[in-house]
Amino acid sequence: MFKKILIANRGEIACRVIKTARRMGIQTVAVYSDADARAPFVRMADEAVHIGPSPAAQSYLIADKIIAADKQTGAEAVHPGYGFLSERTSFAEALAAEGIEFIGPPVNAIAAMGDKIESKKLAMKAGVNVVPGFVGEIEDTEHAVRIAGEIGYPVMMKASAGGGGKGMRLAHSEQDVREGFEATKREGLNSFGDDRVFIEKFILNPRHIEIQVLGDKHGTILYLNERECSIQRRHQKVVEEAPSPFVTPKMRKAMGEQCVALAQAVGYYSAGTVELIVSGADPSGESFYFLEMNTRLQVEHPVTEAITGVDLVEQMIRVAYGEKLAMTQADIGIDGWAIENRVYAEDPYRGFLPSTGRLTRYRPPVEGWTDDGAENGRRGVSGVRVDDGVYEGGEVSMFYDPMIAKLVTWGKTRDEAADKQIAALDAFEIEGLGHNIDFVSAIMQHPRFRSGNLTTGFIAEEYPEGFHGAATSAALLRNLAAIAGFLAAARSDRARRVDGQLGDELDPPSEWVVRIGEAEHTVALSEEEIVVDDEPIDLAMEYTPGDRLVTADIGGETLAVKVAPTRTGFRLTTRGAIHDVRVLPAHVAPLTKHMIAKIPPDMSRYLICPMPGLLVALHVKVGDSVEAGQPLAVVEAMKMENILRAEKSAKVKTINATAGESLAVDAIILELE
């Protein structure tokens, strides 16, 4: 077995590979940029080599620097993780030329399947169903418009070398193609060094299902069941699960065998994923089409590990060393259900805008993924696993992907796995930047998700007006009122004891008026019980003023609630929603009717940068007349371009920024008259 390997990646996947290598007795080498100098994966590795400035194009994407670090440390093999150089044939070839083993597939397979255009041609020759579209070089925007018209709208524009949801645009009209084609090319070039784009028909009501394959160098190729990855936003996966609630045993076998045949056609070995699009309108489940093959490990691989007990990273290392797979297709079963939620640095309450900055507080619900055997190592303690690569006090940088962590839960049933997600998300503490914890918790509770009726349009269809928090039941609000009354009494009692001038005889108020949204509750507390609106509540909890997370036992059920004090009460976050709670003593509450409401200023005449990012383009100048919805500027953040549009018809009064300038959040780009 290898004595030492180098991980040509960063963040959580670098940590993930290091943990398995450590369990196998293999030493590890990390490479890092300026931005990652204090990152956990750097500290975890046995050795670490600095390879350049923060931008990936100057560090992680430069093969020569990776190879130099490998030769410097004497590593025998390189694991590429995903993204960056993981699907670059030139990188695999350069490693081979230096006698360094690539922990991945053969070069010819990367070349054949890593290029979306070429892989579709190969699949067509092999008789595999592919999505109708144009497979070839597209010259310019006008050519793209003609092709899209011939295929028929809607169409999808994709960067040929793309992946991870980047370099993709859905077009419903000629205008969408004209606005998005060049942006798709730029994203492909910036993220993958390849600006080729292809166009294909967009399948309506689609489900995104992928098959995990695993092969060795001796000709054995297996499929490790499927993953459902239909819940996406901007073509970026948000929720993944295994198995799929849609796939039948017959369909699973047909998909798996077809994907194995495709892998055999290119002499594939190592771990890989064949992505399929399935028409949800076909009740037979037999209308599935080849999309692409990712010749690398997938972000969502933990859900496959959870239901099969197979450590995919370990298998990749063993295959690269030349070992035969120690399992057969008959050994691959399905044990329970697993769900993965990607915790992103983005603010769902502000249109999912990217959020960068320092993690002033980071407390995952369990420690990072462990390696102590199949039960805990593959699934995490108590069926909860966290894969992360960040730390409290560290920064989520604008230079890389916005993913903070992956939360994986396993249960005997799909509902049990989803319930564990909700509980774990409630206990996941992140402060300092925006995050999507409330959003993914809302998805886990959504009736449509629970029914398994999923398509890639789930988010757009269920949240057409954006996300404003999960739906909250009257029972939950009543429980939160009881908790708020308890917290207020505890805070008041502490203030009494701290301020000795008041004496010990002044008891905190025993009755509180709690307002949550439009609902108002009266909470009475005594040593014997807590009563909300004349109804006793069975509440047990401990709280010390200053606690940011409290756990309450209410009627035999556990509820974790994040607590942030405000001037008149608390901000309570739980079950995918934020509740601004006003808590006042009963004798004070009536006085609030005399307070004057503060009206927020009108900011609609300003174009404000919604996130830290680079101003890529400015489409107007002073004196130009603009119409509502007209593109005014393009800001790039987290490797994605965001078009900023006019909110109303007006004339440009002043320009406050220039193209190429780095902007802070809320920076004023321009002002309208």
- Model confidence pLDDT, tens digit, residues 407-435: 999 999 999 999 999 999 999 999 999 99
Q: 528-548 pLDDT, tens per residue? A: 889 999 999 999 998 888 899
Give CA–CA dist 144/204, Å, rounded.
21
**Which amino acid is residue 560, in one-letter code?**
A
Q: How confident is the model at residue 372 (pLDDT cuts 50, 70, 90)?
A: low
Active site residue 228: no
DSSP E strand boundaries for 424-498: 429-431
Tell me the C-alpha to C-alpha distance, in Å, between residue 535 and each of 73, 377, 514, 566. Answer: 69, 45, 15, 27
User: Radius of gyration over alpha carbons of the chain, in Å?
Assistant: 27
| pLDDT of 85 | 96
Which among 26-40, 507-521, 600-614 has the top mean pLDDT? 26-40
Structure confidence at residue 464 as a pLDDT band (50, 70, 90)? very high
In Å, how far are 427, 510, 567, 569 from 488, measured between CA atoms? 21, 10, 12, 7
| In contact, 155 and 202? CB cutoff 8 Å | yes
Give me the catalytic one of 292, 395, 636, 641: 292
**Model pTM score:** 0.84
Task: Provide mean pLDDT across the span 111-130.
Answer: 79
Q: What is the mean pLDDT of the chain?
A: 91
Q: Which pLDDT score, from 0 to 100, does residue 492 have?
A: 86
Residue carrying the six token digits 């495709």:
262
pLDDT digits (tens, 9 = 90+) for 477-526: 999 999 999 999 988 888 777 666 555 555 678 899 999 998 999 999 98
Instruction: Read off φ and ψ for residue 398, nearest 5 degrees.
Output: -70, -10
Q: How many CB atoms lie within 10 A of CB 276?
A: 23
Question: What is the edge-to-edge ordering of all strands in the sheet holding 77-79?
Answer: 47-52, 27-33, 4-7, 77-79, 101-102
DSSP 538-590: -EEE---TT-SEEEEEETTEEEEEEEEEETTEEEEEETTEEEEEEEEETTTGG
Q: What is the pLDDT of residues 184-235, one digit of tens each?
A: 888 888 877 888 888 988 887 899 999 999 999 999 999 999 999 999 998 8
Q: In what order do the strands lie in the sheet with 668-672?
A: 606-608, 668-672, 650-655, 625-626
- Mean of the pLDDT values across residues 619-624? 93
Quote the CA–CA distance of 291 and 123 in Å, as a whole number.
Answer: 9
Three-state secondary structure call for residue 526: coil
Nearest to 645, CA basis, from 612, 611, 603, 607: 607
Domains for the chain: give ranges and CATH numbers.
4-103 (3.40.50.20), 106-130+207-334 (3.30.470.20), 132-201 (3.30.1490.20), 336-471 (3.30.470.20), 474-594 (3.30.700.30), 606-672 (2.40.50.100)
Tell me the C-alpha distance between 245 and 121, whole Å: 31
Cα gap 33→62, rounded to integer Å: 11
> CB–CB of 297/227 below 8 Å?
no
Q: Beta strands of 195-269 (E only): which ranges?
A: 197-201, 206-215, 221-233, 236-242
- When pLDDT is averaged across residues 627-647 and rounded to a whole number, the result is 86
Encoded tokens for 50: 């600095």
**Structure tokens that stand for 645 in this block:** 């549009």
Q: Where residue 96 falls among pLDDT bands split at 50, 70, 90? A: very high
Task: Note whether 350 and 609 are within 8 A (CB).
Answer: no
| DSSP string of 405-419, one letter each residue | EEEEEEESSHHHHHH
- pLDDT number for residue 282: 62
pLDDT digits (tens, 9 = 90+) for 288-325: 889 889 999 999 999 999 999 999 999 999 999 999 99
* Residue 163: per-residue pLDDT: 67
| Beta-ladder partners of 212 | 273
Dump pLDDT digits (tens) for 554-574.
988 999 999 999 999 999 999
Identify the DSSP state of 47: E
Strand partners, 525: 530
Name the residue type at position 592: T
Q: What is the DSSP letter of 84?
A: T
Q: Are 318 and 299 in contact (CB under 8 A)?
A: no
Quote the pLDDT of residue 503: 55
Higher pLDDT, 405 or 287: 405
Alpha-carbon gap, residue 28 to 48, rounded angstroms: 9
Which pLDDT belongs to residue 506?
59
**Cα(385)–Cα(239) distance, integer angstroms:** 15
Closest CA to 295 of 98, 118, 125: 118
